[in-house]
Structure 1
Amino acid sequence: MSLHEEKLPKELFEPASPDHKEAEKIERKSLNYWQDAWLRIRKNKGAVISLVVLLLLTLLALFGPMMNDKPYYKQYTPHANLPPRVPVLENVKWLPFDGVRTTQSGNVVNPYEEKQINDYYWFGTDNLGRDLWSRVWKGSQISLMIAVLAALIDLVIGVIYGAISGYFGGRIDNIMQRIIEILMGIPNLVIVILMIILFKPGFGPIILALTITGWINMARVVRAQVMKMKEQEFVLASRTLGLGHAKIISKHMLPNLAGVMIINTMFTIPSAIFFEAFLSFIGLGLQDPLASLGTLIDDGFKVMLAYPTQMIFPAIVISVIMIAFNLIADGLRDALDPKMRD
């Protein structure tokens, strides 16, 4: 039989009967916005490690002062300026926890043996004999508390101010933006110093000083996003259905701005920690017996050549906290900001 005379089987010409259930079957579980963001954050190893480190430091800030029987405010001058000494680790000579220090003349001394002290001070003591372990973690607790409270206040003020300015626009927007420009034209440090001097250094005045101009960046970001969002279809539909301005902003706009708000807040916290430390370092921070990481670094800086560990430990803690917050903020920006998505 020739090629032209070959007959094809009829089965090849029958219509296919696909299984529609299998065709429409979804192999992967559908994810909402936050679940998808969490998967993206998990892929960022730096953000995950930073989150674990930050949780550990937060736990130490909360419970560290309770881990020994030496309160952060208790003074005992006979135990002043002792180097770090930790049980078990004191036998490891290459670690700086053996209770030995080197003097400025180069001599190696053991103050614990010289003063016949049997106590252990894990981070050493300051010039008044106060336990630096308790003071470092108490200072971390206060610094984190100040920064988080200041960031939350900035979030509330900035979101409300920016949403109103961007939503209504026109003359209201012009007036509100001129107020922001006036505040931005005044150096932030001048405002903070005047506020601290007016109210005297303390916990409350520092938070107030940090929030006077700290909300401006949040307000400008929210305003820009609201101005783009207010012309979209879902907002126009809400207006057509008779929804009021307050409900449109609170129920439709702000939930869509959650990612931007979280990202900016996470970047605000390390900035507030650094600024509070700077104020404490120049003598405008908390007063004794309270301590923050800034006051501890300031105290350690004064005796850095003779007793370097008094500055090294709080400096390491504040550096790790700021790096962790910034890496987490970068991870959140990559996960929540649509522009950063691959």
Structure 2
Amino acid sequence: MEQEKIAKEMFSPAQLDSAKSEEISKPSLNYWQDAWLRVKKNKGAIVSLVIIAILTIMALVGPHLTGHTYEEQNLQHNNLPPRIPVLENVSWLPFDGNLTRKNGDVYNAYEQKNVEEYYWFGTDSLGRDLFTRLWKGTQVSLYIAFLAAAIDMIIGVIYGAISGFVGGRTDNIMQRVIEILSGIPNLVVVILMTILLDPGILSITLALTITGWITMARVIRAQVLKLKNQEYVLAARTLGLSNGKIISKHLVPNLAGVIIINTMFTIPSAIFFEAFLSFIGLGLQPPDASLGTLIDEGFKVLQLYPYQMIIPATVISLIMICFNMVADGLRDALDPKMRD
């Protein structure tokens, strides 16, 4: 079979511009810009960041919105259900001030007690405004969260970096100290602090300071052992940099992703730790408020006034879920192996 001939006129040489052939069309991004682009693609992490920002703003502003203090008592207004202006007229929303008796009868608690004020989240058994106490308790939970993050990033990073970089006998001694501290449960440390001090935020802070940084120190030590023999560290040593400058200028910046990820996963654990201690009576004491104490008080009257437990439990669940979602998003964004 005779093959068709292709004429030369059908071909034309490619016209290449040498200047444009070396032009980079995509903008050059550094490590953090690239990571931020990856985080923005994670809708769950972005929504969680927005929710955390809203809860943080409400924790700062919320206690001043209603005109009541978190410890102000009014026994005549005790156990009032949530009641919000405008929303009280929407029948399917639980903000109309109605309660249900054991026999099934529905009555308006505000009309029965001749109360004209609006308590947006209701009141507790002592007539304290739950809206104000909720956001005051959220302040405590966020304080514990950022405290745990600060302890991890200061004590844990420094301790782990020194232990892994120096090595030898120093590393052995420092790791034995960590093993001793990790063998003591956090609950035992809190009980000891409670014996020495009054139960409250100070004893929780000291407990976190004593044992809260151990996991971070171990992770950083393992990473430093892997990185300290890299070429750029050997070059820095050859140029005469001290060990402190090598750790601060070369190792810690290269461990920033690991530090941020582990810190974000530590925050929900610290929040739950504080709530658990307050729930069992080792945390904040009345009249101080935290999400743990509010859940504990609401649990006692769950069958009669379920809103007293459901509202703070919803807020603490939101905080923990959002921080976990953000941590997952940062882990995927900062891990160099996670490529699109």
TM-score (normalised: structure 2): 0.95
Residue 324 of structure 1 aligns with which residue?
Answer: 322
Gaps of 5+ in 1: none
Of residues 169, 188, 210, the one that matches 1:212 is: 210
Counterparts of 1:16-31 in structure 2, within 5 Å, are 18-31=16-29
Contact 1:84 1:96 in 2 (8 A): yes
Distance change (3 Å), C-alpha of 1:336 and 1:92: same
Residue 153 of structure 1 aligns with which residue?
Answer: 151
Q: Distance in 2 between matches of 1:153 and 1:196?
A: 20
Tell whether 2:158 aligns with 1:177.
Answer: no
Tell whether 2:220 aligns with 1:230.
Answer: no
Residue 248 of structure 2 aligns with which residue?
Answer: 250
Q: Distance in 1 between matches of 2:90 and 2:281?
A: 38
Contact 2:161 2:220 in 1 (8 A): yes
Distance change (3 Å), C-alpha of 1:165 and 1:103: same
Contact 2:186 2:207 in 1 (8 A): no
Of residues 70, 73, 81, the one that matches 2:71 is: 73
Amino acid at match of 1:337: D
Counterparts of 1:101-180 in structure 2, within 5 Å, are 101-180=99-178
Contact 2:298 2:309 in 1 (8 A): yes
Residue deviations 1:311-331 (CA, integer Å, cap 9, x gap): 110000000000000000000
Residue deviations 1:8-47 (CA, integer Å, cap 9, x gap): 68x97xx977321110011011000010000000110100
Task: Report the alpha carbon displacement of residue 197 of structure 1 after superposing the two structures with TM.
Answer: 2.5
Higher mean displacement: 324-333 or 52-61: 52-61
Distance change (3 Å), C-alpha of 1:23 and 1:84: same
Residue 81 of structure 2 aligns with which residue?
Answer: 83
Tell whether 2:277 aligns with 1:279.
Answer: yes
Residue 191 of structure 1 aligns with which residue?
Answer: 189
Residue 338 of structure 1 aligns with which residue?
Answer: 336
Q: Distance in 1 between matches of 2:35 and 2:335?
A: 9
Residue deviations 1:294-336 (CA, integer Å, cap 9, x gap): 0110111111111111111000000000000000000000001
Q: In structure 1, the residue corresponding to 2:255 is in which secondary structure?
A: helix
Q: Distance in 1 between matches of 2:315 and 2:18?
A: 60
Higher mean displacement: 309-318 or 202-211: 202-211
Residue 293 of structure 1 aligns with which residue?
Answer: 291
Amino acid at match of 2:147: L
C-alpha RMSD of the superposition:
2.1
Task: Report the alpha carbon displacement of residue 150 of structure 1 after superposing the two structures with TM.
Answer: 2.5
Contact 2:51 2:322 in 1 (8 A): yes
Contact 1:53 1:324 in 2 (8 A): yes
Q: Distance in 1 between matches of 2:324 and 2:16?
A: 52
Higher mean displacement: 26-35 or 107-116: 107-116
Distance change (3 Å), C-alpha of 1:7 and 1:267: closer
Q: Distance in 2 between matches of 1:16 and 1:31?
A: 31
TM-score (normalised: structure 1): 0.94
Higher mean displacement: 204-213 or 294-303: 204-213
Task: Report the alpha carbon displacement of residue 211 of structure 1 after superposing the two structures with TM.
Answer: 2.5
Distance change (3 Å), C-alpha of 1:16 and 1:293: closer
Q: Distance in 1 between matches of 2:101 and 2:214?
A: 49
Q: Distance in 2 between matches of 1:64 and 1:166?
A: 45
Task: Report the alpha carbon displacement of residue 7 of structure 1 after superposing the two structures with TM.
Answer: 9.8
Task: Report the alpha carbon displacement of residue 106 of structure 1 after superposing the two structures with TM.
Answer: 2.1
Q: In structure 1, the residue corresponding to 2:83 is in which secondary structure?
A: coil
Distance change (3 Å), C-alpha of 1:17 and 1:66: same
Task: Report the alpha carbon displacement of residue 70 of structure 1 after superposing the two structures with TM.
Answer: 1.3
In the alignment of these two chains, the number of paired residues is 338
% of aligned pairs identical? 69
Higher mean displacement: 201-210 or 152-161: 201-210
Q: Distance in 1 between matches of 2:111 and 2:16?
A: 87
Q: Distance in 2 between matches of 1:292 and 1:29?
A: 47
Task: Report the alpha carbon displacement of residue 289 of structure 1 after superposing the two structures with TM.
Answer: 2.1
Q: In structure 2, the residue corresponding to 1:340 is in which secondary structure?
A: coil
Q: Distance in 1 between matches of 2:217 and 2:77?
A: 50
Contact 1:104 1:305 in 2 (8 A): no
Q: Distance in 2 between matches of 1:8 and 1:44?
A: 53
Q: Distance in 2 between matches of 1:271 and 1:228?
A: 27
Q: Distance in 1 between matches of 2:219 and 2:8?
A: 69
